[in-house]
Amino acid sequence: MAQEDESVASPGKEIRKLLQDHGWTQDDLARILKRPLPTINQIIQGKRAITPDMAIVLAAAFGTTPEKWVSMEATYRLSLAKANPDPVQKRAKLYTYAPIKDMQRRLWIKQTDAIEEQEQIVCQFFEVNSLDEEPIITGVMRESIQSSKLNPSQKAWCFRAKHLAKALYVNPFNKMASNQILSQLLELATYPEETRHVSKILANFGIRFLVIEPLSSSRIDGAAIWLDATSPVIVLSLRYDRIDAFWFTLMHELSHILHGDASIDDALFSDGVQIPSIAKDDIERRADEDAAASLIPPDKLSSFILRVSPLYSKDRINRFANRLKIHPGIIVGQLQYRGEISYSANREMLVKVREIVANSTVTDGWGRIVTTNVNQGAKNVIKKEN
């Protein structure tokens, strides 16, 4: 039996006192309660806990309340407990700070049962000295990501992007070449297979590009982050495997980079539907407008709508796409966003590109894991899911 805390009144002591006050023996109490004498004796000695039923009959016998006995019993048993709360508090803090299980499953951090080692691993991942610090995703550009506004899964996703991006080798960043970047990227927007060249083109202009599958509790489409003032990174989740979603998100994040923003976009699309710009702040609206305009000149899209609406046949969409030298799925996406056609219309034009992009880009997730080497950079290890 655990050693009794003398500072805590036990139910047994209280019963002895009340028996003395009433001039009763333990046998008298057993007869009054219609309980076996050994049961009464064990309760008084602290060997048996007072149950709710026993609390009710004790209260009736001594003119008290059942709550008194339940509370006294709980306080007494708690005083005997020897569990150490410190490790539990540390683990709770750790699991509040980061999605530990998901990060271990994705091999972002090592799994260990030693709480101190696990805390050190997490601090190293988030580049902080302790879990009392707020991790800094980026802080060098005009519009910086406020990590306090992100949930733990989104923070972890961003830091995974930072770690992988550091291992990528690209040319020096040339912001002044924005027109060249856009024109070369748009040359790829006609055919899905051409998306395999996106990573190379961005690297030529000094922009690191990678794909990271979002964690289970994270709704995120893309981010524009900076390793330092001259090292931009675009990372996409590709959670929606559609050509229009890929190109719009890519151009949206590129707009942030070219304007010197840092942004994590968790609401570009909801259930595959693009979120209206009116629900966003000025910077996000600007990035939306830039992305849409870079893919389809607004005047040409407006002209097409005036001429064709509401009869958007596949043939007319394809002919318009051919004139613009852009994939028809991108036009379908813009028409859906503008409310010109329903989101169930022309779905077959929204072809998949995730596998094409992943095969030519450093991709973490979607059946792949990434290993990094200081001398070799980041590279994919393809691990197909069962």
Q: Would residue 50 count as lying in a domain? A: yes
Are 232 and 377 part of one and the same domain?
A: yes
pLDDT at site 174: 86
Cα angle, residue 209 at apex, residues 141 and 263 outer, rounded to 5°: 35
Q: Is residue 334 part of a domain?
A: no
Do 76 and 89 share a domain, yes or no? no
Q: Are residues 157 and 51 in the same domain?
A: no
Who has greater pLDDT, 9 or 235? 235
Residues 120 and 237 in one domain: no
Q: Are residues 176 and 282 in the same domain?
A: yes
Residue 304 in tokens: 């097409």
Residue 329: name the closest of 169, 337, 289 by CA. Answer: 337
344 lies in some domain = no
Helices (H), the chain: 11-22, 26-33, 37-45, 52-62, 66-80, 85-97, 100-105, 115-126, 152-166, 178-186, 198-204, 243-258, 282-295, 298-308, 314-324, 328-337, 354-360
pLDDT-derived band of residue 276, with 50, 70 and 90 as boundaries? low
Residues 263, 365 within the same domain? yes
HSE, CB side, 13 Å, CA atoms: give it for residue 240: 25
How would residue 279 be classed by pLDDT, with cut points 50, 70 and 90? low
More confident residue, 152 or 378: 152
pLDDT digits (tens, 9 = 90+) for 39-84: 999 999 999 999 999 999 999 999 999 999 999 999 999 999 889 9
- Say if strands 208-212 and 232-236 run parallel, antiparallel, or are unpaired: parallel
Structural domain contains residue 197: yes
Pairing of strands 232-236, 269-270: unpaired
Residues 112 and 234 in one domain: no
Question: Residue 49 sits in a domain of what CATH number?
Answer: 1.10.260.40
Q: Residue 217 corresponds to which tokens in the numbers above?
A: 């509790």
**Count of structural domains, the chain:** 3
Q: Does residue 116 lie in a domain region?
A: yes
Out of 97-111, 227-241, 272-286, which region has the weakest mean confidence (pLDDT)?
272-286
Q: Indicate whether 191 and 243 sit together in one domain.
A: yes
Domain boundary at 26, 51, 80, which? 80
Q: For residue range 321-365, list pLDDT tens digits in order.
A: 999 999 999 999 999 989 999 988 889 999 999 999 999 999 999
Q: Check whether residue 66 and residue 192 sit in a common domain.
A: no
Q: State whether 105 and 215 are in the same domain.
A: no
Give residue 274's domain range.
Answer: 147-295+353-382
CB 159 within 8 A of CB 373: no
- Return mean pLDDT, the chain: 89
* pLDDT classification of 249: cutoffs 50, 70, 90: very high
Q: Are residues 115 and 17 in the same domain?
A: no
Residues 273, 216, single domain; the answer is: yes
pLDDT at 7 over 80: no
Q: What percent of the chain has pLDDT over 90?
A: 76
Contact 246, 236 (CB under 8 A): yes
pLDDT on residue 152: 93
On whether the CB atoms of residues 198 and 357 are closer than 8 A, the answer is yes
